[in-house]
Amino acid sequence: MRGKLIVGNWKMHGGLAANSALLVALLAGWKSPADRTVAVCVPFPYIGQARDALAGSAIAWGAQDVSAHVSGAFTGEVSAGMLAEFGCRYVLVGHSERRQLHGETDAVVAAKAAAALDGGLTPVVCVGETLAERNAGHTPAVVWRQLDAVMSVLGGRMTLTVLAYEPVWAIGTGVTATPPEAQAVHALLRARLAAAGAQGISVLYGGSVKAANAAELFAMPDIDGGLVGGASLDANEFLAIAAA
């Protein structure tokens, strides 16, 4: 269902002591207005730590990846059921770093989204074009292809997901899509979601979101919040983004 959502993606950062300080600061600073949800997606080993710190609070937690499989001989993988057992509510699937560095195809991303739903998690499905694809005018074709792959597997269950548009050229670069640039792609994605009756889900923007640009991005009609990388590691920055 469509609602404001701000998700921190810690990526492969942190450690017990740093996480503890960050979680304590988030809990102390988050005023939790009723109109939005805040979550952090932490590295696998720290999900228990996040649960212990955040259980019963207004901040949800989740993971950054999930296996497409339920169980079995899949060394190194973590299933949706395992994540659910640790109270995870969200899991990122298809982040560009997984697609680019770990060879995840559209089909794998779709299978992971399905596995997440089967395990009771909300998949945050990430799509986005590279700079070369954007410069070639291929942005709509790329993000539609990535989205269609997931919709074709999930069908009507697409309504149970969150979509995140993360232009690859804006991730970790300090270069943010301008609010109108991001809005244009969000509008394309939302229109496409209608094919699965899912135009009413939350569509997040990600890529160099900061306290200084969050409000103008989130003010766009088809942007429902953010997927925040680097700035989610700084409690004050992340809290300001969440409040934007």
* 184-188-193 Cα angle (round to 5): 145
| Known catalytic residue at 138 | no
Instruction: Tell me how far apart the alpha carbons of residues 197 and 143 are, in angstroms, rounded to a whole number.
Output: 18
From the number of C-beta atoms within 10 Å of its C-beta (0-12, 13-18, 19+), residue 81 rates as: middle
Q: How far is CA 163 from the centre of its chain?
A: 7
| Known catalytic residue at 69 | no
Q: Is 204 in the site for ligand 13P (CB under 6 A)?
A: no
Q: Which of 227, 239, 241, 242 binds ligand 13P (CB under 6 A)?
A: 227
Residue 33 contacts by C-beta under 8 Å, 6 or more apart in sequence? 243
Catalytic residue among 95, 104, 129, 186: 95
Tell me which stretch binds ligand 13P (CB under 6 A): 29-37, 115-123, 226-234, 236-244.
Answer: 226-234
Q: Is 146 in the site for ligand 13P (CB under 6 A)?
A: no
Catalytic residue among 104, 166, 186, 237: 166
The mark string for 206-225 relative to ligand 13P (x by CB under 6 A, - otherwise) is xxxx----------------
Give the total of residues touching ligand 13P (CB under 6 A): 14
Question: Minimum distance from CB of 223 to ligand 13P (Å)?
Answer: 14
Q: Please, which of residues 43-102 interact with ligand 13P by CB under 6 A? A: 95
Q: Please, which of residues 150-179 interact with ligand 13P by CB under 6 A? A: 166, 171-172
Supply the Cα-derived Rg of the chain in whole angstroms.
17
Determine the angle formed by the axes of helices 139-154 and 179-193, rounding to 10 degrees. Answer: 40
Q: Is 230 in the site for ligand 13P (CB under 6 A)?
A: yes
Token pair of 175, please? 């270069």
Task: Tally Cβ neighbours within 10 Å of residue 194.
Answer: 10
Q: How far is CA 103 from the centre of its chain?
A: 19
Tell me which stretch binds ligand 13P (CB under 6 A): 68-76, 146-154, 189-197, 227-235.
Answer: 227-235
CA atoms within 13 A on the CB side of 206: 33
Q: Which of 9, 122, 161, 202 binds ligand 13P (CB under 6 A)?
A: 9
Residues belonging to the active site: 95, 166
| Residues binding ligand 13P (CB under 6 A) | 9, 95, 166, 171-172, 206-209, 227-231
